[in-house]
């Protein structure tokens, strides 16, 4: 343990021998005074408590008892010199008192020395750094753990302001922590800074410190947490790399998902196109049915994702027409009964083509293909289902499909005017079509659905053209 600055600022203590010599001389002087100045009686003998205390502090129990014996002897000499006043009772009471005082003070002194040695051992053996620092910024006392950790000797550490050892980036917060204690009297817990070592590198220290009870010094304990900090930094770095990798992988995954989704949608469009290719001159029927079905679904309160599924699935409603022969499909005139039966098989065939898929869109497409020719009143095909027994999405596509077929030219029929097609839809309300779906249809703009201009809009446009000409 080193106490260099403390030794410089406090009164030096006398050695044990010096103390004992002083105590003996003092006891003899007290005796001489007591025998030469008779008018004070035995009062000066009470002053023997002073050399008793000094000896007990210097030599503990042994010193206290030895000085107690000397004091008893001097008291006995005074007693004999004075003609035995008070008899043996006087002498024995003084002797016992002197011995008791010496023994008790000596025992206290021994206990204190033992405590001091124990504390010193703890400080010396501690793996943590323990220091006392003055308010003017110097270490007063450091334990050997400082040297083991930083490499500097205790003399080097106490010879310069401790802030000189602190990493430049940590000096400002370190001084703030010191001010917090020296000026505000507050404790500081788990404060971290970097301390320079003998080889010029830095180590992270974690401090807990507080002003001593007298407010004259700082009591501080520090722990080397460099390894922990490195682990934390590694963990932080690893975490950052991991997050970066996850971000990149997620971005890549999203890109691939978008590509897959695009490929899926294109495949479905092309599949739908294949089904309608032979009887749809513009090839846009499938897309329009998907669009109209989506608007109807939205008007009926479907969620955004459900609307999207219908938009994707509806164009496949006639996929079963792949199995219908050209002679039947493209026949301009009336179909024979067998041909009608052949034609009607496209609904069940379409459902079979689409069945067994794990894709939600294809499962809905199967449901639509199967049910889009069912009638609300039960007169449809292939199941002759009635009302709510027909899946709602099939009921929606049924209307969208018929309206689009009516408003567009087919090999076997011309395009109907929008007004007539709307009237036909209304006429079939409750017969072929679900009344609720027809009501939803009424909320939409049939001209927009059919992709044609209103007569009034067309007249206004022609008038505008004439005005310009």
Q: Which is nearer to Fe ion, 206 or 401 (CB)?
A: 401
In this complex, which beta carbon is closest to Fe ion, that of residue 224 or of residue 366? 366
| Measured distance CA(76)–CA(69) in Å, rounded | 10
Backbone angles phi, psi at 335, to 5 degrees: -85, 145
- Which H/E stretch holds residue 67? helix 49-81
Specify which residues 218 forms β-bridges with.
133, 211
- Bin 35: left if φ > 0, else alpha if -120 < ψ < 50, else beta: alpha
Contact 59/52 with Cβ under 8 angstroms? Answer: no
- Closer to Fe ion at the Cβ: 100 or 322? 322
In the bound state with Fe ion, the residue whose beta carbon lies nearer, of 57 and 296, is: 296
Q: Count CA atoms within 13 Å of residue 36 on its CB side.
A: 6
Check if the beta carbon of residue 26 is closer than 8 Å to that of residue 50. Answer: yes
Q: Rounded CA gap, 247 and 239, in Å?
A: 12
Token pair of 200 as six digits: 């010029």
Nearest CB to Fe ion, comparing residues 382 and 387: 382
Q: How far is the CB of 285 from Fe ion (least distance, A)?
A: 6
- Rounded to a whole number of angstroms, the minimum distance from the CB of residue 413 to Fe ion is 13
CB 75 within 8 A of CB 99: no
- Pick 206 or 318: Cβ nearer Fe ion: 318
Q: Which of 220, 187, 192 is nearest to 206 (CA)?
A: 192
194 within 8 A of 166, measured Cβ to Cβ? yes
Quote the CA–CA distance of 359 and 312 in Å, as a whole number. Answer: 12
DSSP 214-231: TSSEEEEEEEE-HHHHHH
User: Is residue 132 helix, strand or coil?
Assistant: strand
Closer to Fe ion by Cβ: residue 367 or 401: 401
Classify residue 398 as exposed, middle or buried by CB count within 10 Å of its CB (0-12, 13-18, 19+).
buried
Query: Which has the closest alpha carbon to 389: 378, 379, 400?
Result: 378
Peptide bond into 171 cis (omega under 30): no
In angstroms, what is the minimal distance from the CB of 241 to Fe ion? 54
Q: Smallest distance from the beta carbon of 318 to Fe ion, in angstroms?
A: 4
Q: How far is the CB of 258 from Fe ion (least distance, A)?
A: 29
Spatial separation of the C-alpha atoms in residues 222 and 191, rounded to whole Å: 9
Q: How far is the CB of 447 from Fe ion (least distance, A)?
A: 20
C-beta of 224 vs 318, nearer to Fe ion: 318
Residue ranges of the alpha helices (H) in 408-454?
A: 418-427, 435-442, 446-450
Q: What minimum distance in Å lies between the beta carbon of 401 and Fe ion? A: 4
Q: Which is nearer to Fe ion, 154 or 369 (CB)?
A: 369
Closest CA to 170 of 206, 135, 125, 139: 206
Q: For 414, which DSSP code?
A: P
In 3D space, the residue among 106, 10, 112, 91 whose CA is nearest the CA of residue 51 turns out to be: 106
Closer Cβ to Fe ion, 26 or 392, answer by number:
392
In the complex with Fe ion, the residue whose CB is nearer, 71 or 351, is 351
Contact positions vs Fe ion (CB under 5 A): 318, 401
In the sheet that holds 217-224, the strands lie side by side as 139-142, 129-134, 217-224, 202-211, 188-196
Q: Of 224 and 276, which CB lies nearer to Fe ion in the complex structure?
A: 276
């Amino acid at each position: 343990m080193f106490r260099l600055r403390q030794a410089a600022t406090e009164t030096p203590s006398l050695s044990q021998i010096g103390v004992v010599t002083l105590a003996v001389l003092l006891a003899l002087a007290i005796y001489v005074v007591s025998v030469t100045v008779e008018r004070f009686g035995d009062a000066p003998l009470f002053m023997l408590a002073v050399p008793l205390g000094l000896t007990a502090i210097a030599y503990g129990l042994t010193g206290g008892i030895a000085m107690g014996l000397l004091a008893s002897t001097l008291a006995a000499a005074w007693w004999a010199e004075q003609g035995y006043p008070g008899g043996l009772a006087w002498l024995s009471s003084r002797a016992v008192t002197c011995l008791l005082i010496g023994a008790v003070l000596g025992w206290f002194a021994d206990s204190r020395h033992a405590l001091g040695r124990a504390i010193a051992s703890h400080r010396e053996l501690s793996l943590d750094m323990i220091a006392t620092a003055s308010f003017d910024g110097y270490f007063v006392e450091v334990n050997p753990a400082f040297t083991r950790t930083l490499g500097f000797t205790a003399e080097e550490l106490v010879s310069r302001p401790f802030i000189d050892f602190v990493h430049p980036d940590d000096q400002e917060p370190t001084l703030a922590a010191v001010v917090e204690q020296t000026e505000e009297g507050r404790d500081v817990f788990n404060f971290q800074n970097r301390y320079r070592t003998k080889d010029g590198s830095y180590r992270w220290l974690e401090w807990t410190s507080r002003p001593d009870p007298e407010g004259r010094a700082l009591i501080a304990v520090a722990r080397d947490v460099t390894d922990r900090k490195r682990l934390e930094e590694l963990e932080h770095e690893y975490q950052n790399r991991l997050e970066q990798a996850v971000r990149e992988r997620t971005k890549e995954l999203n890109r691939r998902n978008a590509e897959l989704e695009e490929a899926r949608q294109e495949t479905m469009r092309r599949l739908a196109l294949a089904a309608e290719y032979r009887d749809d001159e513009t090839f846009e029927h499938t897309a329009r049915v998907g669009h109209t079905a989506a608007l109807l679904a939205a008007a009926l309160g479907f969620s955004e994702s459900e609307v999207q599924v219908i938009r994707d699935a509806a164009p496949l409603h006639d996929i079963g027409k792949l199995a219908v022969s050209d002679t039947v499909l493209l026949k301009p005139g009336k179909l024979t009964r067998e041909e009608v039966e052949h034609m009607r098989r496209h609904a069940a065939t379409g459902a079979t083509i689409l069945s067994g898929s794990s894709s939600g869109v294809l499962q809905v497409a199967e449901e639509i293909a199967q049910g889009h020719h069912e009638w609300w009143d039960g007169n449809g095909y292939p199941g002759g289902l009635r009302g709510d027994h027909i899946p709602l999405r099939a009921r929606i596509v049924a209307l969208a499909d018929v309206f689009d077929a009516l408003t567009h030219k087919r090999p076997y029929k011309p395009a109907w005017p929008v007004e007539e097609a709307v009237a036909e839809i209304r006429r079939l309300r409750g017969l072929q079509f679900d009344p609720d779906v027809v009501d939803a249809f009424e909320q939409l703009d049939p001209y927009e659905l059919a992709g044609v201009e209103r007569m009034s809009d067309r007249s206004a446009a022609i008038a505008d053209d004439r005005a310009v000409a």
